Amino acid sequence: MATAEENLTRVYTINLGRGWLTPEYRRTDRIVNIIREFAEKHMKSDEVKLDQDLNRQIWSKGKTNPPRNVRVKMTKDEDGVVTVSLYEDLPATEEAPVEEKKAEPEVAETTAAAEEPAPEVKAEEKTETPPK
Protein backbone atom coordinates (compact mmCIF):
# COMPACT_ATOMS: atom_id res chain seq x y z
CA MET A 1 0.00 0.00 0.00
CA ALA A 2 2.89 2.36 0.62
CA THR A 3 3.79 2.25 -3.07
CA ALA A 4 0.36 3.56 -4.05
CA GLU A 5 0.85 6.73 -1.97
CA GLU A 6 4.50 7.36 -2.83
CA ASN A 7 3.99 10.24 -5.25
CA LEU A 8 0.31 10.99 -5.46
CA THR A 9 -0.29 13.95 -7.80
CA ARG A 10 -3.59 15.68 -8.47
CA VAL A 11 -4.67 18.86 -10.23
CA TYR A 12 -7.41 21.06 -8.80
CA THR A 13 -9.05 24.39 -9.52
CA ILE A 14 -9.73 26.02 -6.18
CA ASN A 15 -12.53 28.56 -5.90
CA LEU A 16 -11.31 31.35 -3.64
CA GLY A 17 -14.50 33.41 -3.60
CA ARG A 18 -14.98 32.86 0.14
CA GLY A 19 -11.86 34.91 0.73
CA TRP A 20 -13.64 38.01 -0.55
CA LEU A 21 -16.08 37.83 2.38
CA THR A 22 -13.32 38.78 4.82
CA PRO A 23 -12.24 42.39 5.37
CA GLU A 24 -9.95 43.86 2.68
CA TYR A 25 -6.85 44.01 4.85
CA ARG A 26 -7.01 40.25 5.59
CA ARG A 27 -8.09 38.81 2.22
CA THR A 28 -4.84 37.37 0.92
CA ASP A 29 -4.00 35.90 4.31
CA ARG A 30 -7.39 34.15 4.24
CA ILE A 31 -6.78 32.88 0.68
CA VAL A 32 -3.54 31.19 1.80
CA ASN A 33 -5.46 29.52 4.65
CA ILE A 34 -8.22 28.40 2.23
CA ILE A 35 -5.63 26.73 -0.01
CA ARG A 36 -4.05 24.98 2.99
CA GLU A 37 -7.45 23.76 4.25
CA PHE A 38 -8.36 22.52 0.76
CA ALA A 39 -5.07 20.58 0.50
CA GLU A 40 -5.50 19.04 3.94
CA LYS A 41 -9.03 17.92 3.13
CA HIS A 42 -8.43 16.48 -0.35
CA MET A 43 -4.96 15.00 0.12
CA LYS A 44 -5.60 13.80 3.70
CA SER A 45 -2.43 15.18 5.25
CA ASP A 46 -1.67 17.70 7.98
CA GLU A 47 1.64 18.88 6.50
CA VAL A 48 1.09 21.30 3.59
CA LYS A 49 3.76 23.41 1.89
CA LEU A 50 3.00 26.13 -0.66
CA ASP A 51 5.37 26.60 -3.58
CA GLN A 52 7.10 29.97 -3.97
CA ASP A 53 5.60 30.62 -7.42
CA LEU A 54 2.09 29.99 -6.11
CA ASN A 55 2.72 32.33 -3.19
CA ARG A 56 4.00 35.04 -5.55
CA GLN A 57 0.94 34.75 -7.78
CA ILE A 58 -1.43 35.00 -4.81
CA TRP A 59 0.35 38.06 -3.43
CA SER A 60 1.02 39.68 -6.86
CA LYS A 61 -1.91 42.14 -6.58
CA GLY A 62 -1.33 42.93 -2.93
CA LYS A 63 -3.15 42.16 0.27
CA THR A 64 -6.59 43.41 -0.78
CA ASN A 65 -6.98 41.91 -4.30
CA PRO A 66 -6.22 38.17 -4.29
CA PRO A 67 -7.27 36.01 -7.26
CA ARG A 68 -10.82 34.58 -7.41
CA ASN A 69 -9.63 31.10 -8.33
CA VAL A 70 -6.35 29.31 -8.88
CA ARG A 71 -5.33 26.11 -10.70
CA VAL A 72 -2.91 24.07 -8.59
CA LYS A 73 -1.04 20.78 -8.68
CA MET A 74 -0.83 18.92 -5.36
CA THR A 75 1.86 16.31 -4.84
CA LYS A 76 2.00 14.04 -1.82
CA ASP A 77 5.37 12.41 -1.17
CA GLU A 78 6.30 9.30 0.81
CA ASP A 79 6.46 11.15 4.12
CA GLY A 80 2.92 12.52 3.76
CA VAL A 81 4.04 16.09 3.00
CA VAL A 82 1.81 17.79 0.43
CA THR A 83 3.45 20.35 -1.88
CA VAL A 84 1.03 22.73 -3.58
CA SER A 85 2.35 24.43 -6.72
CA LEU A 86 0.96 26.26 -9.73
CA TYR A 87 -0.33 23.99 -12.48
CA GLU A 88 1.32 24.55 -15.83
CA ASP A 89 -0.52 23.07 -18.77
CA LEU A 90 2.43 21.61 -20.67
CA PRO A 91 0.54 19.32 -23.10
CA ALA A 92 -1.35 22.29 -24.54
CA THR A 93 1.90 24.10 -25.33
CA GLU A 94 3.25 20.98 -27.03
CA GLU A 95 0.16 20.75 -29.24
CA ALA A 96 0.43 24.35 -30.42
CA PRO A 97 3.52 23.81 -32.63
CA VAL A 98 1.87 20.75 -34.20
CA GLU A 99 -1.11 22.89 -35.19
CA GLU A 100 1.21 25.51 -36.67
CA LYS A 101 2.85 22.86 -38.84
CA LYS A 102 -0.56 21.88 -40.16
CA ALA A 103 -1.35 25.51 -40.86
CA GLU A 104 1.75 26.04 -43.03
CA PRO A 105 0.47 24.02 -46.04
CA GLU A 106 -2.85 25.86 -45.81
CA VAL A 107 -1.01 29.16 -45.96
CA ALA A 108 0.85 27.94 -49.04
CA GLU A 109 -2.46 27.12 -50.73
CA THR A 110 -3.88 30.54 -49.96
CA THR A 111 -0.76 32.25 -51.33
CA ALA A 112 -1.08 30.21 -54.54
CA ALA A 113 -4.68 31.37 -54.88
CA ALA A 114 -3.62 34.96 -54.22
CA GLU A 115 -1.07 34.82 -57.07
CA GLU A 116 -3.83 34.46 -59.66
CA PRO A 117 -4.54 38.02 -60.79
CA ALA A 118 -7.27 36.95 -63.22
CA PRO A 119 -10.27 38.20 -61.18
CA GLU A 120 -8.64 41.61 -60.72
CA VAL A 121 -7.93 41.96 -64.45
CA LYS A 122 -11.52 41.10 -65.34
CA ALA A 123 -12.74 43.76 -62.96
CA GLU A 124 -10.50 46.34 -64.67
CA GLU A 125 -11.66 45.30 -68.15
CA LYS A 126 -15.28 45.67 -67.13
CA THR A 127 -14.67 49.20 -65.90
CA GLU A 128 -12.93 50.14 -69.16
CA THR A 129 -15.64 48.86 -71.52
CA PRO A 130 -18.68 50.89 -70.32
CA PRO A 131 -17.11 54.35 -70.89
CA LYS A 132 -16.63 53.67 -74.63
Per-residue pLDDT of the chain (132 residues; tens, 9 = 90+): 455 546 899 999 999 999 999 999 999 999 999 999 999 999 999 999 999 999 999 999 999 999 999 999 999 999 999 999 999 886 654 554 545 455 455 555 555 555 555 555 555 555 556 665
Q: Within its chain, how far is the Cα of 43 from the centroid?
A: 22
Neighbours of 28 (CB within 10 A): 23
Domain boundaries, the chain: 8-86, 90-128
CATH of 8-86, one of 1.10.1530.10, 1.10.10.60, 3.10.440.10, 2.60.40.10: 3.10.440.10
Mean of all residue pLDDT scores within the chain: 80
Compute the distance between CA of residue 73 and CA of residue 13 in angstroms, rounded to an integer.
9
The full length of the chain comes to: 132
Give pTM, 2 decimals: 0.64
